[in-house]
Structure 1
Amino acid sequence: MSRFLNVLRSWLMMTSIIVVGHSLQSFRDHTFLYENIYTGKPDLGEKAKTCILCAVNGLQARTFGVWTLLSSVVRCLCAIDIHNKTLYYITLWTFFIGMGHFLCISILGMLVGLRHLEAEPGSRQKKRN
């Protein structure tokens, strides 16, 4: 396996562990979302600021928690079996979907990793047969 794929596996595992923490925090206290994640509040009147803080309720926090937990599991599984192309593409899509909220380097890493993955000889297929 190429060195880049090993680094990518480590990166995926690290992001998976971090995301589990965010997920658990979302279930524990919904104020975590607007205090630590959605901190970019525009300078609005005091009444509008209060409405933004109230907009993140328990249901939204749990929905965020479930999404992050699911993406964590998918990323962890991809780190374990990075040669599974279906799982690889699903993991890549977790980053694209998450990009709606957070822009991160993971998408670029997954795209470069896909190139390395396709460049490797079919040794993985021979082992399965």
Structure 2
Amino acid sequence: MDHLAAYLPQAPGLLPKWLLFVAVVALGNSVQAYLTLRFNKRIYCARPLDVTALSSRTFGTWTVLSAVLRVYAAYHIHDPVVYDLAIWSYAVAGVHFVSEWLVFGSAGLGAGLAGPLIVSSMSLAWMITQRGEY
């Protein structure tokens, strides 16, 4: 087990490990977005016909970019530029999901949207409140 711990972010606290965990999950979500429309249709359940192969792959690519930013933040959490980029990745994700739900009406509040909303809002709040600690 100690062998695996060497690969985890070495900065103190749980935030760097959380950032890595969310990034790994995001990479898995990206693979799913490239392979099937099923999961994106759960998020955008109010207008599932708007979910196409192209939109799903675009979503997957956007999610990979977010994951890369969060991996960098996990391992370089003391770098204020990297930290701020990770904050922005959560802010942009949150605005996207809320706007698709409340403005554009393509997302429905349910299991598909709850996860991204919870992760983006909690991570954003956590990073903002801990900014001075790193």
User: What TM-score do the two structures reach when normalised by structure 1?
Assistant: 0.73
In structure 2, the residue matched to 1:33 is 40
Backbone CA RMSD of aligned residues: 1.6
RCO comparison, higher one (Cα < 8 Å, 6+): 1
Higher Rg: 1
In structure 1, the residue matched to 2:14 is 7
Distance 1:71 1:7 in 2: 19
Alignment counterpart, residue 105 of structure 1, candidates 103, 106, 122: 122
What secondary structure sits across from 2:77 in the alignment?
Answer: coil
What secondary structure sits across from 1:6 in the alignment?
Answer: coil
Unaligned runs of 5+ in 2: 1-10, 98-115
Alignment counterpart, residue 21 of structure 1, candidates 5, 24, 28: 28
Distance apart, 1:108 and its partner CA? 0.7
Number of residues of Structure 1 aligned to a counterpart in Structure 2: 102
> Are 2:93 and 1:76 aligned?
no
In structure 2, the residue matched to 1:56 is 51
In structure 1, the residue matched to 2:131 is 114
Contact preservation (8 Å) 1:78, 1:88: yes
In structure 2, the residue matched to 1:46 is none
Contact preservation (8 Å) 2:26, 2:64: yes
Distance apart, 1:116 and its partner CA? 1.3
Unaligned runs of 5+ in 1: 42-51, 118-129
Q: Where do 4+ consecutive residues of structure 1 move more than 2 Å?
A: none
Distance 1:115 1:108 in 2: 13
User: What TM-score do the two structures reach when normalised by structure 2?
Assistant: 0.70
Distance 2:53 2:12 in 1: 38
Contact preservation (8 Å) 1:92, 1:107: yes
